[in-house]
A and B are shown apart, each in its own frame.
Chain A
Amino acid sequence: MVRRSLWMCVGVGCTEPAVDPETQVRQLQLIGAVVEPAEQDPGMSAQVHVVVANPEGLALDWMTWTCTSTASLGGDCSESVDGDPARDWATGTVQDGAWDVEIVPLLDIPDGLVEQLDRTGGQWTGTDLALLACAPGRCRPLNAVDENNLTDDILDDPLTWLPDVPMRRASLGVRATVHSTRSISGQHQNPTMVPLFDSVPEGRPGDTVPLTFKLGGKFGPGLLWPFATLGGFETAEHSAQIGEVVVRWVVPQSAQSGDVGEAWVVVEDRLGGSAIWSGTVRVR
């Protein structure tokens, strides 16, 4: 019973690095997705803004699709009703590290859901948005779209094709969407995150540069995560609430003057809303 605890014993006492490795982005990776509005009526469309880190500068295609079920990755997405498609999907090309898509997350509304939401005034999070960034020709669903033979089973269970795609060539993420039948004024809004610095953050090698953000909105309590392709941040996770938060970017000792990298800060209010800051960091 105790071997795992022994491994943990061995790990005790390790020193912490100056930079939290969880903040360092070295390969293709989704950073986050903002769904606007954060809370929707069933059947409403939403604008989704997806940010992706692409340090290797790959050409990337994207695909977004929905899955309404209780197990979004288990091949249990809702089947079509009355011949209509059970899901919404869209494709495109990633531009400047992001893509935007208008999509209807909850296209196949489960029986009784609207009545239940009306009765309870509650929320439902049974729909997932699948967000895929992929090098051209590598991912089966995008290839199927190009060949005009996309079928539901390809999107229902990504685990049937995803293991065949190298990690550095495709990044798949899943985000739940929030639905209710409350009035718009009562529905949850995305938080706001305003940077309190005007210029591009910069520092000399070895410096720690503070970046301050002002957060607004309603938090559940929330969490905030910074990322960078050049150096990293001291702390991977911060608590997020109304007010100011400071994240500290660490300039790598090995950096050269003029080096430029990308940085992002993602905040989740844990109520279904999010915000993303994207920017540049520079070595003086």
Chain B
Amino acid sequence: MALEPPLSRVQRWMQEVVVHPGSIDEALASKAARAEVPPERLGDVVLPSRTLAPAQRVEIYQRMYLLRMEEALGIDYPALARFLGPRGFRDLVRDYVASFPSRSYTLNRLGDHLPAFVLTAGGLRHRGFCHDLARLELAMTEVFDETETPSLSAEAVAAVPAEAWAAARLRPIAAFRLLALRYPANAYVQSIRGRGHRHPRPRRKDGWLAVYRRNYSVRRLELSLPAYRLLSELVAGAPLGPAVAAAARRRPGSGAGPTQLYRWFRGWMAKGLFMGLEGLEPSTNRL
């Protein structure tokens, strides 16, 4: 008797087969696929062609699935892919999409869980380095896609009375991320972007980084630890006065003196890291 499953069942079956990471025979015989269409009834669901058996025809879709996932994640994680090599990255992608399949109409967010997944993925060498690479590359894609927000202008900054700065809170642009790294992930990303650059070894080396977008271009700014801490507090909404005072107190002699603080602050403003000032007196709050 012919098997005529309803549309919903056909689709559930075909999806289970297409996303299965094993061979086509394993996919057809998997528990999930078998629950919809027994493998021995395949010929009742899919017709053969002149040249291909039903299983071979379905296999075309199955083979393309992982290739497409690998291509999409390779675009977002080129440094991680380079570090792991083709086979290592393919294995990671296969395991990742089995745990975190796309549930969105866009592939842009497919890799959102990859940094966390790297922490538990099986068979991964240099896990900490891979984690930092993934975190950095995710931050870069997020910054790339963030909403464009205008930066605070020099005129707006100049218009703030000196006495108002202590209470001011700086609001960062949307396309901004701060990262504390334990491995030289930024140097690795840089090394794959230029020819002839030597890749740094995946050894422990603390680093701090701001990832931001300027003129629609994603940029990375290496920070010292005191600068990272100050920027973190400002981004978290701390008023400028107490944050600066805390930075100066934190490590006397560390270089976070008034002159250095002023240089950092001026540099961050020039790079357009902030979009607004809050907490000013009403007369100065219309910037």
A-B complex is real: no
